[in-house]
């Protein structure tokens, strides 16, 4: 009976994995398929001949490395700034009583209610006079503004999960509030920090709309905008586009591999009763 | 020397006043227990002493310093929390040494003090483990170790045993008492468990609704409760409380239970109480016993009553009897005869264990127990 259950569970896991990873397989398959075979081989799972020509073209001849670098700068910048700010905001919301706290939290939720498309024109109007249109800093500012409320809520809920007694114990043990935060609370917040970094990084990495509207020069484009350049007047260059997309997946994959141990919670186990 | 003194301490949370005019002096090396039902303000008071809550009024002194506005780290205290609050990412050794490390003590000194505390508490074998790998009792010991290591002027305990099972709680209670014998320091201990209060305290502070109800030694609080609340809160089973009336009894005074016996009162202890007054009579369960198995009493007085139920508990038995229509609990120790419900059983009550309370205010009017110190 137990064997059947175990087998069933693995079957479900496998089915889920196959479903989730299939688009990635397809991405890779098309990137590796020579152009002339793309339409002749139909829907076979793997091409009879593979080629790295698309990857070579994307890396050596297209402006993709520039896009790529821009995206890394913008995404990492946004993720770092949002994480630092949301840590402060989440801590304040979780640990301090102050006038207008509830109103402020409600206000943060309200900012999430507007369709982003509505805000593009006003945002352009605001950024243009200060010279932030068509700059990477402009993108970082905009991404930070849009990701901060959710990240703050995320961090708030992580702070709520950490017993107040821990920092109180630290403060009795001789720490200032700031020392207690740095030495006791933040090490336990690594899953929260990891989750927030991951969430914001991914959001910034794959953002298209603002990048498309605010960036016009080739040298500042992010890869999401860059991918569109593979859509030509005469058609779509599927092989190169998929090769570029595959390459674009690598940094988030590395990033998540690096932070995954912090995403798995359980660090606070043993802090309190149990 | 670390006396702790609270003068008129008040705590308000918005419109709610959690602690009213709390005044208490705690002597150096004294073990004081704050006890009371949940929400009585005992933990809030402790947290104000710790500096974890601001005070809304009054003055708190530790030693010769007013600490009202000092942060917790500057108060020379250590605290054991109900949920232990061990730092989960540090080993037991680092948990214990954390306070000294923050204070900048040299490594050799930290190692020596941590080692000494670990030996005292029997936790040497798991200094390299993290809190998650410890049982509840072990975590409790580590939390105490962390408190001892810093050698503070005052120890604060906030319901440290409430997360442990009954057996372990008993063991740890004994250990805390032994620890206090070894590490002579002022201790303030908060609990809702009256057994802990009775066994640990030099002095008990009974609290109710943010006010001090009574301060006294365990004996005083037990035998001469300041109010019917204390009488009902301390002791298990609690003191029996019966509606009664004072009457003239020859030259002296007696208390009469409607439909029950008339008990003569010690004229000296109950001086000033006029006859014809409604009172509540308080009787500890062990002040009543069936005559044939009664152990020695100071001033026995006989009456008859019906036994309605007997609960044998091994070393003792609880006997439920009816006096004037009210159910009363009697407790007898090592009963050597089998008891069962029966009618018209001769009982004795110890007249040296009576307490009279005002039915309106609940305050004690008089108590006939003579305390050794009185």
Here the CATH number for the domain that contains residue A258 is 1.10.3720.10
The reply to whether residue A272 touches residue B78, judged by beta carbons under 8 angstroms, is no
The predicted structure's pLDDT at residue A264: 62
pLDDT tens-digit series, residues B240-255:
999 999 999 888 899 9
Average pLDDT over every residue of B69-96: 93
A254-264 burial: b if 16+ Cβ within 10 Å, else e:
ebeeebeebee
For residues A218 and A63, the answer to whether their CB atoms sit within 8 Å is yes
What is the rounded CA–CA span in Å between residue A29 and residue B188?
71
Same domain, A37 and A67: no
Instruction: Please judge whether A174 and B85 are an interchain contact, meaning their C-beta atoms are less than 8 angstroms apart.
Output: no
The verdict on A89 and A174 lying in the same domain is: yes
pLDDT per position as a tens digit, B273-315 = 889 999 999 999 999 999 888 777 778 899 999 999 999 888 8
Domain-located, residue A1: yes
Query: For residues B43 and B120, is the Cβ–Cβ distance under 8 A?
Result: no
Task: Give domain status of residue A115, yes or no.
Answer: yes
Residue A165 forms part of a structural domain:
yes
Residue A11 belongs to what domain range? 1-51
pLDDT of residue B228: 94
Same domain, A11 and A72: no
Of A116 and B3, more confident: B3
Chain B, residues 108-147, CB within 8 A of chain A, namely 130-134, 136, 139, 146
Give a yes or no: residue A271 inside a domain. no
Average pLDDT of the segment spanning B257-285: 90
Task: Give yes or no for a contact between B85 and A163, defined as CB atoms under 8 angstroms apart.
Answer: yes
Q: Are residues A154 and A224 in the same domain?
A: yes
A268 within a domain of the structure (yes/no): no
Q: Please tell me if residue A186 touches chain B, with a CB cutoff of 8 Å.
A: no
Residue B297, token pair as written in the block: 């009493």
Is A175 touching B (CB cutoff 8 A)? Answer: yes
**Considering the domain boundaries, does residue A101 fall inside one?**
yes
Please indicate if any CB of chain B lies within 8 Å of the CB of A174.
yes
CB contact under 8 A, A184 and B85: no
CA proximity to A182, closest of B10, B258, B322, A190? A190
B253: Cα separation from own chain's centroid: 33
CB of B34 less than 8 A from some CB of A:
no
Across the interface, whether the CB atoms of A270 and B87 are under 8 A apart is answered: no
Question: A184 and A97, same structural domain?
Answer: yes
Residue A238 has a pLDDT of 85
The mean per-residue pLDDT over the stretch B104-133 comes to 91
Regarding whether A83 and A133 lie in a shared domain, the answer is yes
CA angle, B216 then B232 then B308, to 5°: 140
Structural domain tally of chain A? 2
Same domain, A76 and A177: yes
Question: Which SS3 state, helix, strand or coil, does residue A231 take?
Answer: strand
| Chain A residues whose beta carbon lies within 8 Å of the beta carbon of residue B103 | 174
Q: Which residues of chain A have pLDDT under 50?
A: 266-274
User: Is A274 inside a domain boundary?
Assistant: no
A66 to chain B, any CB pair closer than 8 A? The answer is no
| Cβ contact, residue pair A270, B79, below 8 Å | no
- What pLDDT, on a 0 to 100 scale, did the predictor assign at position A172? 94
Q: Do A175 and B73 touch (CB under 8 A)?
A: yes
Chain B residues close to A175, C-beta within 8 Å:
73, 102
CA–CA distance, A112 with B299 (Å, rounded to integer): 79
Domain annotation covers residue A56: no
Query: Cβ A172–B86 below 8 Å, yes or no?
Result: no
Q: What is the separation of C-alpha B355 from the centre of its chain, rounded to a whole number of angstroms?
A: 19
| Ordered structural domains, chain B, with CATH | 4-233 (3.40.50.300), 240-367 (2.40.50.140)
Provide CB contacts within 8 A for A82, sequence distance 6+. A143, A144, A147, A148, A151, A196, A200
Residue A254 CA from chain centroid, whole number: 12
Pair A36, A108 in one domain = no
Tell me the C-alpha distance between B230 and B238, whole Å. Answer: 9
Shared domain check, A8 and A115: no
Are A135 and A95 contained in the same domain? yes
Residues in chain A: 274
Using alpha carbons only, give the angle A149, A151, A251 rounded to the nearest 5 degrees.
130
Reduced 3-state DSSP string for chain B: CCCEEEEEEEEEECCEEEEEEEEEEECCCCEEEEECCCCCCHHHHHHHHHCCCCCCEEEEEECCEECCCCCHHHCCEEEECCCCCCCCCCCHHHHHHHHHHHCCCCHHHHHHHHHHHHHHHCCHHHCCCCHHHCCHHHHHHHHHHHHHHCCCCEEEEECCCCCCCHHHHHHHHHHHHHHHHHCCCEEEEEECCHHHHHHHCCEEEEEECCEEEEEECHHHHHHCCCEHHHHHHCCCCCCEEEEEEEEEECCEEEEECCCCCEEECCCCCCCCCCCCCEEEEEECHHHEEEHHHCCCCCCEEEEEEEEEEEEECCCEEEEEEEECCEEEEEEEECCCCCCCCEEEEEEEEEHHHEEEECCCCCEEEEECCCCCCC
- Using CA atoms, how far apart are residues B248 and B264, in angstroms rounded to an integer? 9
Q: Burial level of B245, CB count in 10 A (0-12/13-18/19+)?
A: middle
Residue B175 to residue B163: CA distance in whole angstroms: 16
DSSP A236: B
Contacts for A99 with CB less than 8 Å, ≥ 6 apart: none
Phi, psi of B365 (to 5 degrees): -90, -45
List the alpha helices (DSSP H) in chain A. Answer: 2-32, 53-60, 64-95, 101-111, 116-127, 136-160, 164-172, 177-180, 186-188, 190-205, 209-214, 223-228, 238-263
Q: Are residues A119 and A215 in the same domain?
A: yes
**Inter-helix orientation angle A190-205/A136-160, to 10°:** 150
Q: How far is B99 from chain A (nearest CA, A)?
A: 4
How large is the ipTM?
Answer: 0.84
Residue with tokens 């059983």: B345
Of B145, B154, B183, nearest to B76 (Cα)? B154
Contact across the interface for B132 and A176, Cβ inside 8 Å = no
- Same-domain check for residues A47 and A142: no
How far does A187 lie from chain B, in Å, by closest CA?
7
Cβ of B85 and A169 within 8 Å?
Answer: yes
How far is A156 from A96, CA to CA, in rounded Å? 12
């Amino acid at each position: 009976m137990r064997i059947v259950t175990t087998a069933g569970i693995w079957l479900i896991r496998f089915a889920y994995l196959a479903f989730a990873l299939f688009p990635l397989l397809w991405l890779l398959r098309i990137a590796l398929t020579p152009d002339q075979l793309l339409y002749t081989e139909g829907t076979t799972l793997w091409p009879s001949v593979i080629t790295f020509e698309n990857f070579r073209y994307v890396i050596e001849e297209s402006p993709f490395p520039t896009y790529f670098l821009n995206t890394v700068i913008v995404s990492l910048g946004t993720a770092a700034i949002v994480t630092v700010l949301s840590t402060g905001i989440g801590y304040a919301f979780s640990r301090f009583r102050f006038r207008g706290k509830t109103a402020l939290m409600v206000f943060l939720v309200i900012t999430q209610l507007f369709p982003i498309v509505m805000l593009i024109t006003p945002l352009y109007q605001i950024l243009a006079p200060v010279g932030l249109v068509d700059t990477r800093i402009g993108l970082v500012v905009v991404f930070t503004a849009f990701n901060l409320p959710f990240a703050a809520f995320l961090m708030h809920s992580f702070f709520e999960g950490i017993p107040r007694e821990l920092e109180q114990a630290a403060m009795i043990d001789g720490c200032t509030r700031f020392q207690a935060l740095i030495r006791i609370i933040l090490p336990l917040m690594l899953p929260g920090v990891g989750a927030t970094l991951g969430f914001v990084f991914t959001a910034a990495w794959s953002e298209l709309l603002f990048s498309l509207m605010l960036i016009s020069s080739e040298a500042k484009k992010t890869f999401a905008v860059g991918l569109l350049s593979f859509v030509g007047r005469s058609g779509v260059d599927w092989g190169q586009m998929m090769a570029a997309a595959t390459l674009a997946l690598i940094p988030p994959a590395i990033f998540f591999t690096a932070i995954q141990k912090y995403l798995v919670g359980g660090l606070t186990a043993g802090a309190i009763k149990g | 020397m670390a006396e702790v003194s609270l003068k008129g301490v008040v705590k308000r949370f918005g419109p709610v006043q959690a602690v009213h005019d709390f005044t208490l002096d705690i002597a150096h090396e004294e073990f004081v227990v704050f006890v009371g039902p949940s929400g009585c303000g005992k933990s809030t008071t402790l947290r104000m002493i710790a500096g974890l809550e601001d005070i809304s009024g009054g003055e708190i002194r530790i030693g010769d310093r007013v600490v009202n506005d000092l942060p917790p780290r500057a108060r020379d205290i250590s605290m054991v929390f109900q949920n232990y609050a061990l730092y989960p990412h540090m080993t037991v050794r680092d948990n214990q040494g954390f306070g000294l490390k923050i204070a900048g003590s040299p490594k050799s000194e930290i190692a020596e003090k941590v080692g000494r505390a670990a030996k005292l508490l029997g936790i040497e074998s798991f200094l390299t483990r993290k809190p998650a790998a410890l049982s509840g009792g072990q975590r409790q010991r580590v939390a105490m170790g962390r408190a001892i290591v810093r050698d503070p002027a005052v120890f604060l305990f906030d319901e440290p045993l409430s997360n442990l099972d009954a057996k372990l709680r008993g063991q740890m209670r004994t250990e805390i008492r032994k620890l206090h014998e070894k590490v002579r320091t002022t201790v303030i201990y908060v609990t809702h468990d009256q057994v802990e209060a009775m066994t640990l305290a030099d002095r008990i502070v009974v609290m109710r609704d943010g006010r001090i109800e009574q301060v006294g030694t365990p004996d005083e609080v037990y035998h001469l409760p300041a109010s019917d609340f204390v009488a009902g809160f301390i002791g298990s089973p609690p003191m029996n409380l019966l509606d009664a009336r004072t009457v003239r009894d020859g030259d002296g005074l007696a208390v009469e239970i409607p439909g029950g016996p008339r008990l003569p009162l010690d004229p000296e202890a109950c001086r000033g109480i006029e006859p014809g007054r409604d009172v509540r009579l308080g009787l500890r369960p062990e002040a009543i016993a069936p005559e044939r198995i009664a152990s020695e009493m100071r001033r026995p007085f006989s009456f008859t009553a019906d036994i309605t139920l007997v609960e044998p508990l091994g070393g003792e038995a609880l006997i439920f009897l009816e006096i004037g229509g009210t159910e009363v609990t009697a407790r007898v120790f090592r009963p050597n005869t089998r008891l069962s419900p029966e009618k018209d059983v001769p009982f004795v009550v110890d007249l040296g264990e009576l307490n009279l309370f005002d039915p309106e205010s609940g305050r004690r009017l008089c108590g006939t127990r003579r305390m050794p110190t009185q």
